[in-house]
Amino acid sequence: MHIDLIRSSSSKSLPQQISGTLAQRIRSGLLQPGARLPSVRSLAVSLKVSQVTVSKAYAELERSGMIICSQGKGCFVANPELFKQSEGHSWQEHYNDYLPRAQLWRNFKDSEVKYPFHLAAIHSGLLPLEQIGATMAALVTAQPELMATYGNFQGDPDLRETMRAHLLARGIKLASSDLMITSGTQQGIDLVARTFVGPGDTVYLEAPSYTGAIDVFAGRGAEMIFVPMDEEGMKVDVLTRLCDERPPKLIYTAPTFQNPSGVTMSMARRQRLLEIVRSYRCLLVEDDPFSDLYFHSPPPPPIKSLDTDGHVVYMKSFSKVLAPGSRVACVAAGGDILSRLIAAKSASDLGGPLLTQRAVLPFIAKKYDAYAAELRMILRRRMELADKLLKRYAPPGVTWNLPEGGLSLWLELPPSQDIGRLHELAGQQGISFLPGDVCYAGHTPSRHIRLCYSQMSEEDMQQGLASFLDLLDKYLS
């Protein structure tokens, strides 16, 4: 396998980088239980490091129980029960790839479980599927030729005009030519990463951050540095000190009802963050799926609304709030940054389908605001119900913050819990959650779990949460 080593890294030694990447590959299911690791000698040769360095990395992995080494036989990935061996063809094991991590893949499974708390999504009964579906049925009947054409790489001009008005109402003043439509925000993040991030480039993220973004930056060989947060969001003073040492190529933030922590960045921090980005002449990716889903008062304006010189690439997901299967998100950038992103979009999929873009357009133009107003009331009630159950049944030592908006709760468990084991036990009862580990890049275990309160019906959510808290109580005692 290919491992991007950052020889100038101040934060991580070479053995740490090697063991960290191998651990990620094992956790991602890319190196499967029972698979043999390359010999110390051959890995040392291929990575151009000393055998001592590789030995240290393997020793660290063995200490953590992820691999088992035996004299003469070599090292193997442990825990065969976690993942079933794929049939495979033997030569493929040695065919090098550039995929250091894929945690999203492993934690997103088709929810066969009864109580899917792991996915940050909205229950289908709450989504305006019938309205969008009716538009789509009418469109495809009247104009089947909408399916005949490759979409415009930048996205349908009419939908971009609708998005322009939508963003203007939220303080972001741009032309529709400054916008691009992507297959969900995931593709937007991926396009930014493939276009602007390469091996050894420094990317700053909040600790914790969105798994799908971490996967993508890891795939580009970036050095990711996680900046701690407090109740005002990313600690910008810490970021400033870190940037002095390692200038940022890019900063990724979700400032509003952050996924997974639920924290919202204060206005002062937003301004300060933009100043940092300006002074380093780098990009800020502002991922904003949830700002319309506030429970009390509207959050501070997007950082993009303060951006005068194209430093912020702003991403707004519509698929999450309207119809995940529509895969429609909007990316706002400007100048050369945007044109390079459009070129990258063309190489990745020749543009998104036109029909779906036209199908969501009327809803976004005319009904979105009223729908969002109603949805936030429903989500607030969900959150309050979950909070009530937690207050009543959560075992001592379990803490959480009440989010001001969004879809999920971020729980902290008492120290030294084996969250992997808890995840397994919950799974046996048909309950899933997102283990906090996947929201970091390192292999320091996290004590957090994320629970989404909006993916089930209200009754199921309450039943599932009560069962989970019961399990948690037994598990902790």
Confirm or reject binding of residue 173 to a copy of itself (CB under 8 A): no
- Residue 145, Cα to own-chain centre: how many angstroms? 35
Confirm or reject binding of residue 455 to a copy of itself (CB under 8 A): no
CA distance linking residue 211 with residue 380, whole number of Å: 25
* Of the candidate residues 11, 16, 152, 176, the single one contacting a copy of itself (CB under 8 A): 152
CA distance linking residue 388 with residue 392, whole number of Å: 6
- Chain positions 413 to 452 lying near a copy of itself, rule: CB under 8 A, are none
CA distance linking residue 216 with residue 218, whole number of Å: 5
- Chain positions 18 to 47 lying near a copy of itself, rule: CB under 8 A, are 28-30, 32
HSE, side-chain direction, 13 A CA sphere, residue 184: 13
Confirm or reject binding of residue 200 to a copy of itself (CB under 8 A): no
Sign, CA torsion 154/159/165/168: negative
Confirm or reject binding of residue 378 to a copy of itself (CB under 8 A): no
Confirm or reject binding of residue 353 to a copy of itself (CB under 8 A): yes
Confirm or reject binding of residue 136 to a copy of itself (CB under 8 A): yes
Confirm or reject binding of residue 327 to a copy of itself (CB under 8 A): yes
Contacts of 95 (CB under 8 A, 6+ apart): none
- Residue 335, Cα to own-chain centre: how many angstroms? 26
Q: Which is nearer to a copy of itself, 263 or 321 (CB)?
A: 321
* Of the candidate residues 62, 349, 412, 458, the single one contacting a copy of itself (CB under 8 A): 349
Confirm or reject binding of residue 282 to a copy of itself (CB under 8 A): yes
Q: Could you tell me how many residues of this chain bind a copy of itself (CB under 8 A)?
A: 92
- Chain positions 217 to 276 lying near a copy of itself, rule: CB under 8 A, are 219, 249
**Least distance to a copy of itself, CB of residue 116, Å:** 11
**Least distance to a copy of itself, CB of residue 348, Å:** 5
Provide φ and ψ at 183, rounded to 5°: -75, 75
Q: Which is nearer to a copy of itself, 95 or 416 (CB)?
A: 95
> To which H or E segment does residue 72 belong?
none
3-state secondary structure of 375: helix
> Please, which residues bridge with residue 203 across strands?
224, 250
* Of the candidate residues 186, 258, 259, 305, the single one contacting a copy of itself (CB under 8 A): 186
DSSP secondary structure letter of residue 126? G
Q: Which is nearer to a copy of itself, 292 or 307 (CB)?
A: 307
| Angle at which helices 458-476 and 368-393 cross, to 10° | 30
Contact string (CB under 8 A) for a copy of itself, positions 294-323, x = contact: ---------------xxx-----------x
